[in-house]
Structure 1
Amino acid sequence: MNHPSEEQTQVIDASVEPLSVIACAGSGKTFTAVRRLANIRQKLGNHRGRVALLSFSNVAVDTFRKEYQDLGLSSNVNNRVDIDTLDTFITSNVLRPHAYRTMGAQQTAFLVTGGEAFLKGFTFQTDPYPRAINEMQVGIDAGGAYFCYSDIKSEIHRLNTAQAADVVHRLGRIGAYTHNLGRYWCYRTLADQPGILRALVRRYPHILIDEAQDIGTVHQVIIEQLVSAGCQVSLIGDPNQGIYEFASADGAFLSKYGQRDGVNSLELKRNFRSVPPILDLANHLAGRTDAADREAPDTVHGTFFVAYGKNDSEQLIVSFQRAVEAAGLRLERSAVLCRGRKQADKLAGNKGAPGWGIVKRFTQAAILRERFKDYQGAFRLVAIGIVNLLVDAPNGMLAKLTSQREDQALRRLIWAFTRNPDMGLPGVSLNGKAQWHPLLLNRVKTLLAQINKDCGLTSVDKLGSKLTSRDLPDGPLLSAADLNGNNYRPRIRVDTVHQAKGESLDAVLYLTNKEHAESLMNGVDTEIGRIGYVAVTRARNLFWLGVPASALVDLRPGLLDLGFQETEA
C-alpha cells in the first residue's frame, strides 16, 4: 500500500479533534494511524505540545516506528512525537516520576515481573492455595477499584477488597508494582495529584490509541481522566476483535466512544488483507459489509473445514503444512492457532523442562534456545535465574534487563551466556546430571565473577545449594527425537489466537472443540465467538477450521451454509 484510499484520507486529513475510527481487520490501520499522527503534528505547527500514538504491544510499536521513519520522519524530541505502548507512556510520565508519593514510598517506583525473590512475601490468598502478586488483576466499576484474578479457564474471581488492598499497598510502600498494579497506581496518582494530570495534558494535547478494543476498565478510567482535563483522545480499532474480556477489555468503550459530543466518527471498511471468500465469512460472522481489495488468486484459497479425531492432531498439522506448501504460500508466515496456551504448548511439543528451582529456569531456557530458536524467551529465563543469584539486586533490575532499555553491560554478559552452548548455557544433548549440571555450575560461577568485576554486583554464598541437580535426568535434557523429529521440513508455528492478534498470516489452521466451533459460527456476540473471528481474519489466502470428528454431523450443515468447503486431513 503506497497511497491512502479515500476513506483512509478522510481519517488522515480530519481536523484536529477527537476521532472514533471503527476499522475492519486488514484495513491498513497502521498505515492510516501513522499518517494521521504526522498530519496532526504538522497542523499543530509551532505549538509546543507533543502528539502520542499508543498501542498495546511492543510489536505494534516497532511497526509504527518503522512506518513513521519510512515517511522520512523520526519520533523524537525535535518533532514532538512519541510512539509507544500505553503502559510505557504512563510509566514514563506518571509512575516513575510521580507515583511514589501516592504509593507512600521513599524511592522511585519500580516494576517487578514476578521472578524477584522478595515477592514471596507478597502473595495473596485464594482457595485452595496462595498466588503470586503478579497474578493479581485490577478492575474499576461503579463501586471503585477492585482486585481479582483469573483461573485456568479465564474465569474472573473477585478478591476481598480490603485484604487484597493490604498486599498491594504494602508492596507499594517499598515502591514496587506489577504491570497490572502499575495501571492502578497511575489512576490513583492522577486522582491524588491533579497538578500532574494538568501538566500531562499540557504536554500531550492530542493522543491517538490504536487497537482501542483492548482498552480495559483501568486504562479506560485513565483515559477518562485525560479527557476530562482537556486532552483530545482519538481511538482506532475493531470492537469485533475484543478478546481480552478476562481483563475487562471487550471493545465496548471503543463502540460507544463515537457517540460522544465532540467526537467525529469515521470508518475503515476496505480489507486489503484477505481474499474474497475469507472476507465473506468474516462479514457474515460480524454482520458487516466490508469490501475486499484483493482478487481471488489462481491457487487454492478460501475457507475449509476438516474433521480430526482425538489423537489425530499431529496428522492434521502435517496435512495443513502440505496444503500450505501446495498453494505456494509461506510456511514461516502461516500458523496453527488454538484457543488456549496449554493446547498450543502441547501441540508445539513443549512439554515442560526438567530441574528444580532456579535450575529449572536454565533448562527451560536451553530448550527454548535449541528446540524453538526462541532466544528472547531464553534470555528472559536466564536473566531471572541470574538476578535471583545476586545479593541485594537493585530494585527493578529484572524489568530493566527485559525491557532492553537499561543495564547494557549486564545485558551483554547475559546475552553472551544465553546464546553460547560451548562457553555459556550448556546444550540440551548433554546428560543432565553427569555433564550438563557440572558445566552449568562452573559457567554460572564464571559469569557471576565477571558480573561482579564489570557491574559491581555480588553473588550469593553457597551457589551449589541454589543450583542443585534435583530432578535432572540421567540422560539428555532433550532427546534427539524431540530435538530433530521435524527436521525433514520446517515446523509450522503453533500458537494461541491471542498471541497472533494483529498479525497478517498467509494461512491459518484454527483447531477447535465443538463449543469453540459453534461459537465461531454464531458470530461475535460472545468472547469465544470473537476469538474465532480473530482467527479467521488473520488469514490472507487460506483458512482451515479443525473440528472434532465426533461433532461433524452436527456442525457440517451450518459450516456449509457459511460457505466453508469440506476437506480431509
Structure 2
Amino acid sequence: MNREEKTEYLAGFICGKPSDVTPSECHSSLGRTNPLCREYETCRIAEKSEEQLDYVLSSIESCVFLKACPGSGKTEVVGLKAAFEMMRWKKTPGGIAVLTFTNNAAKVIEKRAGQFAGAKKIGYPHFIGTIDSWLHGYIAHPFAHIVTGYDGKNEDHSIRVIDSASQADFLNAFKTRYVFGQTGKPAANHYYFDTQTGKYIFASGTQRIDGARNSETLEKWQVTDLEKTKMRFEKAGFATYQDIERICFELLSDNARFALLLSRRFPFIVIDECQDLSWRQIQILDELRLQGTALHCVGDLNQAIYEFKKVLPEKVEEYTQEKKFNILPLSTNYRNCQPIADLCTALVGNTDNITSIHVSTQECPCVCVSFKKDEMMKLPGWFSGYLEQSGIDKQRSAVVTRSWANVSRMRPADSGQIRNYQERLAIAVHLWKTGCRQATEDALKFFGRFVTEKFFPKQSTNAREYYRPESMDSALTWRLFLAATLCKCCQDARLSNLEQSWTDWTQATRDRMHEHLSKSVSIFGATLSDCVFPPLVARNKTGESLPLFSTPRGKRNNQVLRAFPSNSSAHEQLRITTIHNVKGETLEALMLVSSLDTRGTSDGYWTMWLDNPASEATRLAYVASSRPRQLLVWAIPDPSEAELDRLIQLGFHVLTAPEAALQETNVS
C-alpha cells in the first residue's frame, strides 16, 4: 500500500471514516463531533508520516525495534498502535502489554490509546503501565514465594518491597553475621546479586560505605554470609526492587511451563523508552520471547541516561541485533528546528538523516554564552532577558544542569544571595505570590527559616524539611502550616505590598505577622497547640525578650522589591532544574549550564559532552539539547579561543560580549 492507501485503511478502521470522503472532508464534517479529532486542526490519521503508518501496520507476530529520533511523535504512534491492535484483538484471554518506565508516561500512552480506540479506560485483557508494576503484579507478587519460600499470611504471598536505602529498625534482624569493608554489618536490603556479573553489589545509597564494601574482594565465607542473609530476608516476605527482578528472572528461566503460560497471557508486548531497559529486564523479556511473545522495542538509544541503574544502551542494541529484530525508523523530527536537530545529530555521531519540519523564529537557534566561574547565579537573569528580547515564552522554557548542586547555585533560596531575615521574609512573600511550583518551594524554605530564627531560636532545625524545628514532629504538618501562613500574608494588603518602603513594610510585619501565624496554628488544633507566636518588636523593653524585627540598616526609604537578587525575578517564571527532570518534555527554549569543572559529577562539564559520542556524558547533553523547539543555549565557564572554535564547528553561534551582558543583567 502507498501512503494514501494506508491512511484510508487506518482512518476507516479507527475512526469509521466513510470511504467516499477524503480525510480532510471527514475532519471538517464528521470530525467536528468525533472526540478523536474535534480539538485538532487536521485528521490525526492523515497527519501521520509514512514511517509512522508503517509501524502502526507492522506485524505483531515478529519482533520490531522502532528506532526513533527526538521529537518523532513516538508516544502518539505507540498509542495508535496499541489502539489498532486492541480493536482487532482475537487472542483473549491473552492480551497486549504496553510497558514504560514512569507513571506519567504510562498515563499519556493510555490516554492516547483510549482516544484512538474510543475507550475511556484500557482494561482486561490488556495492560498499560510501568514495567515495575507489570513485573510485580503478574510475576513477583503472585508467584515469588515459589523461589523465596515465603509462607505468606492468610494465604497472601505478596512481597513487601523495601527501599534499598531504608534504615528501618526491623532491618536489624536481617543483617549479616560479619562486618564488610570495615563499615559495619550490611542489612539485606543494602545489597543485591547482579546476575550479569555474578557478583554482589552494595547499594545502600551511602556512597562512602558502598564504595568501601564494593572495593573489597569477597572471600567464599563472605559470599555465603550474604547469601544466607538475603535468603532469610526474602523468606520473611521482603525484597528490594533489584531482588524482585532477579526473582522474576529465576522464575521464568527455571520454569519453562510458567514462562509459556505468561507468554500466552501476553503474546504481544510493546516496550516504550526501551533504551532504559536494564540487562536483567532484557533477560526477563527474552524468556517470554523464547516462548513466542513478540517484542516491540521503541526508543532512542542516545537518550539512555540512567547508567547508575545499570542501564546500558549498547546492550539493548546488541540484543535487538542478535535476535534479528526488524528495524523500522522514525526519522522526522516534529519538535526541534533543523539547526538544533543537526547539532544533536552531530553530538552523538549519528549518521541517520534526520529531517525537521519545524522552522525556528530565531536567527541563531544555537547559542553559546560564556560565564565567569563566580557568576553562575546570574545566568537565569541573563537568560530571562534574552528570552524577552527573542519573544519566547519563559513559562515554556527552562534552565537545566547536571547536578542539584548547580541548580542550588542558580536558585535564590540556595545561592546565599539573601543574607538577612528581613529579606528572607520579603522574598518568601514575593515568591509565594507567583504561584509557580518551583518558586513556592523556595518560598517555603525562606519562610521556614525566618519562622524558626524568630520563634524557635534555641531549637535545632532540619533544613531539608523547610527548617522544621525539633519540637515539630510532623514534616507534613510543618509544611502545611507554613503554606497556610504564607497564604494569609499574601491576602494581607499591607504585608503583600512589597512596593512600599522598608520602614512601612517593617511596621506592617510587626503589626500583622504574629496574628497570621496564630490563626494558622488554630487550623491544626491540638497538633500545634504548644506553639506560641508573640508580636515582633523593634526593640525590647526592660525585662522583655520578644522576637525582634527591625528595618534593614541603610534601607529605611528603599523599596522592598529592590533588595531582591537579579535572578529572583527570572525565577518567578523560569524553571531551573536538572537534565533528568526535563527528559521527555518539549520546551520552547532551554539553557544547558555546564558544571564549573570535572570535580564531582564529571559528566556535567561541557568538554565531557564532546569527547566521546558513545558516553553517558554526551547522552546527557543530547537529551537536554533535544528538548527545545526554537532556542538552545549552552552556558560554559571561561572557555579558551580554541574551545570556542570547537563549539562553532559543532553549530553554535558564540555571543561576543556575554560577560558585559551578565553584568548589565545583575545591575538591572
TM-score over 0.5 for the alignment? yes
Aligned counterpart, 1:235? 297
Alpha-carbon distance in 2 for matches of 1:240, 1:565: 24
Deviation of 1:300 after TM superposition, in Å, equals 5.0
Deviation of 1:224 after TM superposition, in Å, equals 1.9
Relative to structure 1, the CA distance from residue 444 to residue 217 in structure 2 (aligned partners, 3 Å threshold; closer, same or farther) is: farther
Aligned counterpart, 1:83? 128
> Which runs of structure 2 are paired with 1:102-141 in the superposition (5 Å)?
102-107=147-152, 108-113=158-163, 114=165, 117-118=168-169, 120-121=171-172, 125=180, 128=183, 136=191, 139-141=194-196
1:48 counterpart = 2:98: no
Relative to structure 1, the CA distance from residue 422 to residue 256 in structure 2 (aligned partners, 3 Å threshold; closer, same or farther) is: closer
Alpha-carbon distance in 2 for matches of 1:440, 1:103: 50
Structure 1 residue aligned with 2:649, among 542, 561, 564?
561
- Contact in 2 for aligned 1:139/1:248 (Cα 8 Å): no
Alpha-carbon distance in 1 for matches of 2:266, 2:190: 32
Deviation of 1:50 after TM superposition, in Å, equals 0.6
1:525 counterpart = 2:618: no
Q: Give me the TM-score of the superposition, normalised by structure 1.
A: 0.74
Aligned counterpart, 2:249? 187
Deviation of 1:257 after TM superposition, in Å, equals 3.6
- Contact in 1 for aligned 2:149/2:235 (Cα 8 Å): yes
Structure 2 residue aligned with 1:536, among 625, 631, 651?
625
Q: Give me the TM-score of the superposition, normalised by structure 2.
A: 0.64
Relative to structure 1, the CA distance from residue 82 to residue 345 in structure 2 (aligned partners, 3 Å threshold; closer, same or farther) is: farther
Which amino acid is 2:58 matched to? A
Structure 1 residue aligned with 2:367, among 299, 304, 307?
304
Alpha-carbon distance in 2 for matches of 1:138, 1:372: 43
Relative to structure 1, the CA distance from residue 38 to residue 505 in structure 2 (aligned partners, 3 Å threshold; closer, same or farther) is: same
Which amino acid is 1:85 matched to? T
Which amino acid is 2:651 matched to? G
Alpha-carbon distance in 2 for matches of 1:282, 1:163: 49
Aligned counterpart, 2:312? 250
Alpha-carbon distance in 2 for matches of 1:241, 1:310: 29
Deviation of 1:185 after TM superposition, in Å, equals 2.6
1:321 counterpart = 2:366: no
Relative to structure 1, the CA distance from residue 270 to residue 423 in structure 2 (aligned partners, 3 Å threshold; closer, same or farther) is: closer
- Contact in 2 for aligned 1:26/1:274 (Cα 8 Å): yes
CA deviation map 1:317-355 (0-9, x unaligned):
211122223323232222221122333344335659xxx
Deviation of 1:132 after TM superposition, in Å, equals 7.4
Relative to structure 1, the CA distance from residue 46 to residue 192 in structure 2 (aligned partners, 3 Å threshold; closer, same or farther) is: closer
Alpha-carbon distance in 1 for matches of 2:120, 2:331: 29
Alpha-carbon distance in 2 for matches of 1:375, 1:133: 40
1:12 counterpart = 2:56: yes
Relative to structure 1, the CA distance from residue 38 to residue 423 in structure 2 (aligned partners, 3 Å threshold; closer, same or farther) is: closer
Relative to structure 1, the CA distance from residue 184 to residue 341 in structure 2 (aligned partners, 3 Å threshold; closer, same or farther) is: farther
- Contact in 2 for aligned 1:23/1:237 (Cα 8 Å): yes
Aligned counterpart, 1:405? none
Give unpaired runs (5+ residues) of structure 2. Answer: 1-41, 153-157, 416-430, 443-473, 490-508, 510-515, 532-546, 550-559, 599-604, 663-668
Which amino acid is 1:566 matched to? V
1:508 counterpart = 2:553: no
Relative to structure 1, the CA distance from residue 264 to residue 102 in structure 2 (aligned partners, 3 Å threshold; closer, same or farther) is: same
Which amino acid is 1:82 matched to? F
Relative to structure 1, the CA distance from residue 181 to residue 418 in structure 2 (aligned partners, 3 Å threshold; closer, same or farther) is: farther
Identical aligned residues as a percent: 23
Structure 2 residue aligned with 1:493, among 575, 578, 593?
575
Aligned counterpart, 1:61? 106
Alpha-carbon distance in 2 for matches of 1:194, 1:263: 23
1:344 counterpart = 2:407: yes
Relative to structure 1, the CA distance from residue 415 to residue 309 in structure 2 (aligned partners, 3 Å threshold; closer, same or farther) is: closer
Alpha-carbon distance in 1 for matches of 2:99, 2:393: 31
- Contact in 2 for aligned 1:119/1:133 (Cα 8 Å): no
- Contact in 2 for aligned 1:337/1:509 (Cα 8 Å): yes
Alpha-carbon distance in 1 for matches of 2:67, 2:622: 16
Alpha-carbon distance in 1 for matches of 2:439, 2:477: 11
Deviation of 1:167 after TM superposition, in Å, equals 4.2
Alpha-carbon distance in 2 for matches of 1:299, 1:376: 32
CA deviation map 1:206-234 (0-9, x unaligned):
10001111111221221122222222111
> Which runs of structure 2 are paired with 1:69-468 in the superposition (5 Å)?
69-71=114-116, 72-77=118-123, 80-107=125-152, 108-113=158-163, 114=165, 117-118=168-169, 120-121=171-172, 125=180, 128=183, 136=191, 139-141=194-196, 143-144=197-198, 146-149=200-203, 157=214, 160=218, 161-261=223-323, 263-286=325-348, 287-348=350-411, 351=414, 373=437, 420-421=480-481, 443=524, 446=527
- Contact in 1 for aligned 2:147/2:250 (Cα 8 Å): yes
Deviation of 1:46 after TM superposition, in Å, equals 5.0
Relative to structure 1, the CA distance from residue 39 to residue 69 in structure 2 (aligned partners, 3 Å threshold; closer, same or farther) is: closer
Alpha-carbon distance in 2 for matches of 1:93, 1:334: 40
- Contact in 2 for aligned 1:138/1:218 (Cα 8 Å): no
Alpha-carbon distance in 1 for matches of 2:654, 2:138: 53
Instruction: Find the residue that maps to 1:105 and give its secondary structure.
Output: coil
Instruction: Find the residue that maps to 1:169 and give its secondary structure.
Output: helix
- Contact in 1 for aligned 2:381/2:569 (Cα 8 Å): no
Aligned counterpart, 2:463? none
Deviation of 1:56 after TM superposition, in Å, equals 0.8
* Higher mean C-alpha displacement, 241-250 vs 194-203: 194-203
Alpha-carbon distance in 2 for matches of 1:127, 1:328: 59
Relative to structure 1, the CA distance from residue 347 to residue 260 in structure 2 (aligned partners, 3 Å threshold; closer, same or farther) is: same
Alpha-carbon distance in 2 for matches of 1:11, 1:376: 44
Alpha-carbon distance in 2 for matches of 1:219, 1:336: 33
Give unpaired runs (5+ residues) of structure 1. Answer: 353-367, 379-413, 448-462, 465-473
1:26 counterpart = 2:32: no
- Contact in 1 for aligned 2:275/2:301 (Cα 8 Å): yes
Relative to structure 1, the CA distance from residue 245 to residue 205 in structure 2 (aligned partners, 3 Å threshold; closer, same or farther) is: same
Alpha-carbon distance in 1 for matches of 2:397, 2:484: 33
Is the radius of gyration larger for structure 1 or structure 2?
Answer: 2
Alpha-carbon distance in 2 for matches of 1:132, 1:312: 44
- Contact in 2 for aligned 1:201/1:229 (Cα 8 Å): yes
- Contact in 1 for aligned 2:360/2:629 (Cα 8 Å): no
If asked which structure has higher relative contact order (CA below 8 Å, sep 6+), I would say 1
- Contact in 1 for aligned 2:188/2:233 (Cα 8 Å): no
Alpha-carbon distance in 2 for matches of 1:128, 1:81: 47
Aligned counterpart, 1:395? none
Instruction: Find the residue that maps to 1:294 and give its secondary structure.
Output: strand
Alpha-carbon distance in 1 for matches of 2:184, 2:440: 31
Relative to structure 1, the CA distance from residue 147 to residue 195 in structure 2 (aligned partners, 3 Å threshold; closer, same or farther) is: farther
